[in-house]
Structure 1
């Protein structure tokens, strides 16, 4: 919750005084259900601002690069197998279409829906 409140303060949705009060209430909370009202008035519970932080964007780019690299590796292997097989029909187009569709869905998900997942802190900790 502290990440969400800090992101809202950085974005300008909370002024410094109100942000510090909410942060103090977040750190003083004993139960998880005490945290929800602290970000209830923020758009999408504050998760959209959190998904747009530089750390979250860098993490999404790393995931996307890893996915594209894996697909490129598999594409090279499939094309190599096709070349070695001597087949007339370019059969790797079928699995490659599914792999490229997966990359496109991954990119669309990060662009439109990444802010909706629950954020439990930076994943690199």
Structure 2
């Protein structure tokens, strides 16, 4: 499978184990024995079928970041819309640091009680 057209792009990859992931194709390597590996920076992954939440969380944690994928494990590639790819790039480069933002807020003076209800209009309106 030739993935050269997808180098540097975010794509959805379906694997033969009924799993899929979204990642950026970084490189393609051909070894002396003829085997081919693809290097992906995986940002999101999932596993189809019945799997409990804890197992899925561990699976996602283990299968993120830079990964080498054997060509034989790839069942198909779906090219993502260029606008979606740009959205992924913008999101990854502009991730807010929530802890830093939290420390800049005056959290001591936040309301301790929240009320829900209907706001009544004054009679003179």
Bigger fraction of residues in strand: 2
- Normalized against structure 2, the TM-score is what? 0.28
| Higher normalized contact order (CA 8 Å, seq sep 6+, divided by chain length) | 1
Bigger fraction of residues in helix: 1
Larger-gyration structure (1/2): 2
- Normalized against structure 1, the TM-score is what? 0.28
